[in-house]
A and B are shown apart, each in its own frame.
Chain A
Amino acid sequence: MAGQTGGNRVDPRRILLLGAVVALIYGIFSLRLFVLQILRGSDYVAAADENRITRVVLPASRGVVYDRNGVLLARNVPSFEITITPASLPDSPAEVQAIYARLSSLTGVPIVVPGSKPSAECAEGRGIQDLVEEWTGLAPYAAVKIKCNADPHTAMLIQEQAFTMPGVGVRVSPARDYPTGALTAHIIGYMGPIPAEQREFYESRGLRIGQDRIGYAGIERSLQEILAGAYGQKLVEEDAAGLELRLVAPPQEPVAGTNLRLTIDTRLQAAAQAALQSTIDSVRARKLEFLRSPIVSGVVIAMDPQTGEILAMVSLPTYDNEQFARLIPLDYYNSLLSDQSNPLINHAIQGEYPPGSVFKMATAIGALNEQVVTPEKELFDPGEIVIQNRYFPNDPGRAREFVCYDRNGHGLVDFLRGVAVSCDVYFYKLGGGYPGEVAGGTTGQLEGAGLGILRIKRYAQAIGYGRALGVELPAEASGLLPDPDWKRINLGENWATGDTYIATIGQGFVLATPLQVLESIATLANGGRVMKPTLLRQFLDGEGNVVREIEPQVLWDITQDVTSDPDHLKVDEQWVRLAQEGMRQVVSYGTAADYAQLDNVVTAGKTGTAEYCDNIAQSRNLCQPGAWPTHSWYVGYGPFDKPEIAVIAFVYDGGEGAVTSGPIVKQVLQAYFELKAIDAAAQR
């Protein structure tokens, strides 16, 4: 306190005290400023940056999917959303109410829903005003979605009138559309929201949780990465109200997803589905006489045996993926889930069934190659044979009978006739040996008789059984090729000769997917090459130029070297040709003669009637001894000399193979050759 004291009576100490308090308080402030600005400054700078910088995702357009002829199977269509930007609404409450009223009458969304809880945008049961008021406080410059999936007509009306309704806008966002719907649902699949457990993965790829969708099934899922492309992003500076001001850094542009051309021929797919559907309908009608709700499902796959290209793949019942295009309707989804025939499952690759007599071709090729018998050797089929229990060879009570489907027997049967008439006893004896007729082979045998289960397994693997084949679809099943170790581990029992016998004819523990069964026959048809089954033909860019051709891939050639086999099996070509001839005779006079012959094309094939007793059959008390229900199989291919197409038909609980499935294959083959003629005519 400089200067002289005046004439006042105020105590200078009390003046000094106030000065000291000022110094103290401002000193504290200076320190506090130092702590905030200097010591913790970087934290606050980061917080300020977080305030102002917003990451905006630049979505990439998803790849479009065509069939082999350019028919659209999956595309992107605009989905219209009606939005309101709260900050752009007029100031006058009366004008705002008028806008609400107009929008409400156009879209059907109520203005106010009393008592509704805050929720996501577009949620049902919220009013226009509810949503706007809720978002005004949060981000007035962000457009609030009032109605999602508005129909295009409404969207156009609102767009036209938008200038009279400030703040109202129409936003177009891409939605997925499946023009062929249920016909190709199992191939194309569908999409859905990003599940919680995969959040981080997709967030790291720039996808927006709750907004972007990913493939859930089919090609949409298995080729998600290729179809999705790469999302871009930009960092923008926004003010507190959410108004975009400027770019902070150069934007990272999105890269559009790759377009796909599949191997599927939609016309053949339709023919296959029609043939299978009518068969299933008639089988069901027959069963309805004695069953309340028969489960009948089925599969048809058509493949080019030379390339592995899948031309058609039908699994019935199917579902309508078009209904899943924008959101997954809960009622519909639940009804699919509760259906015992599992419409959401692609039975062609995810169903595992006993392959029945089609499997005999694995035994056949193995028995010839291992010289268990010569093809000319005739074995006797009396209609049934009896196998002694090896632990109690003298106890007739423990002996087991194995019957041929023809109880009268086929008499003396050589290899070709064995294949043609599908003689069970002939194959029992090849597979498991038979005293006096088929002695043991050489190595790797269990019983010292016949081909033996271990070698059956190796040859089955060689032609495509027992492992997923790698088709570009999710969750392909691997099937099951049993062996003694498997039985001991899973059932705790020793392997019996009887197990080998029934495995020989594709029964018992043997399971295979329809695709594997088709692959086994296609391999023999093309001369021994195991082709990787594929749905992809070409990758295309946005202009339709081919970016990449998908070349046919030979997994291995059984006449050269079965690379998957530990001992590098090699099958003599002559046995493959003999197997082909056997399959030709199946059609010319054998089991399929009356059902699958084509008028002008020589075809070959193999039937299968596989007994089964799964949980559905058991629950319906259908497993009567000696009269189990049967799946129906038939695989056919043609032309015999130079096969272009191999087709499998499988009907669950379909009865006899040739009778039920033969005609389906025949129709698909016919359709194929007709389409080929049409295409050839069009070319000319």
Chain B
Amino acid sequence: MFNPRRWRHFDFWLLGGVAVLVVFGIAMIRSAIAGNETLADLPQRQAQNALVGLGVVLVAAIVDYHFWRALTRPMYVGLLAVLIYLEISGATTFGAARWLDLGFTQVQPSELAKVLLILILADDISRNEERIRTWGGVLRSLALAAVPAFVIFRQPDLSTAILTMVLWAAIIFAAGIKTKHLASLAGGALLIVIVAFPFLEFYQKQRLVLFLAPDADPGARYNVDQALISIGSGGWFGQGYAHGSQVQLRFLKVRHTDFIFSALAEEFGWVGAFTVLLLLAFVVYRCLRAARMARDTFGALIGYGVATLIFYQAAFNIGMNLNLLPVAGLPLPFISYGGSSLWSALLGIGLVESVVIHHQELEF
């Protein structure tokens, strides 16, 4: 397992791309706190998170990903237990029971759940690769994904619940679900959305309405408008690091988390924002490369799932910043402030590295 020759295959390009994004994110967080004293130690904390995260990547990379197959069942049960515990204890922050207090730090189990679910689903499907081509197999994995998704939805955290289902869809797609089954599922999902809308929380409905009819609530539009002004005033090369007036004078809200893309677009302009897009695309590409190289379907599905996870979160966050998608609390992977989301993304990267390292059964 600790054979040094295995490091030959370690994807330094992937880790390099991720490292650039994370370091850039810490720098951006430092600019985005804009003299707010209560946020002053966030860059340092994010740097510590990143160091811990580097350890996570290396450990996950060196451990053969097959090792986790034995643990998927306890993982699944434990995950559900924590999520349900959260809902019952109701440790509510900003109206959402998402945080688990571990004593020394607070984590968001739903962030970890995203990555663990990739492992669990990939494992389940790859144990019997033919099963997914039948309705029985599809529904079995659907049930596997839907139960935690429902609990997360009840937190309430609609965007993570949707992400969970997107991950499931991506994995079964990669695993070879038949096209007709896929079409039926898509139709069913649409039906559920229509039926479920009346049961959404008020703020969730409001966000959707706000997106679909932007002028419905001028007060609620403030954040989105300020994001657009921030991005638009960036021009080709931006107003300069720590010199964006929208960011530094705090007209842009939640600038170190949800709207950090607007902040970097203002300070680094089109060139900077495009570079970040390229880097994110590059990271996704390296994950897909791992999926292609994986020695078995389990590994390929991990690569595919992590690629989807990173792509989807980034796309949703940036789409929201660009006012192409409704406002949802999804962070920008590697860049937004937040320990839990950074760790879960880095854990995903570590798993992908493990797939790459162990893509050959025999090493010479």
Contacts and interface: CB of A to CB of B under 8 A. Distances in A.
Interface of A: 1-12, 14-15, 18-19, 21-23, 25-26, 28-30, 32-34, 36-38, 40-41, 43-45, 47-49, 51-52, 237-241, 245
B288 A33 contact: no
A5 B269 contact: no
Contacts of A41: 232-235
B232 A40 contact: yes
A44 B288 contact: no
B274 interface: yes
Dominant secondary structure at the B interface: helix
B246 interface: yes
Interface residues of B, number: 57
A41 B294 CA distance: 45
B163 interface: no
Contact of B233 (A2, A7, A33, A47): A47
B8 to A, nearest CB: 14
19 contacts: A5-B292, A6-B292, A6-B294, A7-B295, A8-B291, A14-B173, A18-B288, A22-B284, A22-B285, A26-B315, A29-B319, A29-B322, A30-B277, A43-B232, A47-B229, A47-B232, A51-B229, A51-B245, A239-B251
A57 B90 CA distance: 51
B57 interface: no
B179 to A, nearest CB: 11
B32 interface: no
Given A37-B235, A38-B270, A44-B232, A12 B249 contact: no
B301 A10 contact: yes
B212 to A, nearest CB: 18
Given A18-B308, A22-B281, A7 B234 contact: no
B230 A32 contact: no
B80 interface: no
Nearest to B222: A240
Contact of A26 (B280, B292, B293): B280
A51 B296 CA distance: 56
Contact of B293 (A3, A11, A22, A240): A3
Nearest to B277: A26
Given A14-B174, A37-B270, A8 B299 contact: yes
B250 A239 contact: yes
Contacts of B299: 6, 8
Nearest to A3: B293
A6 B301 CA distance: 12
Those 10 A-B pairs whose CB atoms lie nearest each other, nearest first: A44-B232, A8-B300, A239-B249, A10-B300, A48-B233, A240-B250, A8-B297, A1-B292, A37-B270, A7-B295
B14 to A, nearest CB: 13
Contact of B322 (A3, A36, A240): A36
Interface in B217-246: 226, 228-236, 245-246
B318 interface: yes
Contacts of A21: 311
A100 B274 CA distance: 52
Nearest to A40: B232
Contacts of B170: 18
Given A1-B289, A26-B277, A44 B231 contact: yes
Given A15-B292, A32-B322, A37-B269, 6 more contacts: A10-B297, A33-B322, A37-B234, A41-B232, A239-B249, A240-B251
B250 to A, nearest CB: 4
A15 B174 contact: yes
A245 B249 contact: yes
B167 interface: no
Contacts of A8: 291, 294-300
Which of B280, B299, B300 has most A Cβ within 10 Å? B300
B234 A15 contact: no
Nearest to B245: A52
Contacts of A7: 294-296, 361
A8 B324 CA distance: 36
Contacts of A40: 232
B231 A29 contact: no
Contacts of B233: 41, 44-45, 47-48
Interface string B71-113: 0000000000000000000000000000000000000000000
B307 interface: yes
A35 to B, nearest CB: 9
A428 B176 CA distance: 123
A29 B295 CA distance: 34
A22 B286 CA distance: 12
A585 B307 CA distance: 117
A651 to B, nearest CB: 63
A44 B232 CA distance: 5
B322 A10 contact: no
Contacts of A34: 270
B300 A6 contact: yes
B26 interface: no
Given A8-B297, A51-B246, A19 B285 contact: yes
B288 A19 contact: yes
A6 B285 CA distance: 16
Contacts of B359: 6
Nearest to B311: A22
A40 B234 CA distance: 11
B295 A6 contact: yes
Nearest to A28: B324
Interface string B289-333: 101111111111100100110010001001100101000000000
B346 interface: no
Contacts of A18: 170, 174, 288, 304, 307-308, 311
B201 interface: no
A2 B286 CA distance: 10
B274 A44 contact: no
A295 B208 CA distance: 71
B232 A37 contact: yes
A29 B284 CA distance: 16
B301 to A, nearest CB: 7
A9 B292 contact: no
B15 interface: no
A37 B265 contact: yes
Contacts of B245: 48-49, 51-52, 237
A155 B228 CA distance: 45
B41 interface: no
B273 interface: yes
A11 B133 CA distance: 13
Nearest to A23: B281
Contacts of B236: 37-38
Interface in B320-364: 322, 324, 359, 361
Contacts of B176: 9-11, 14
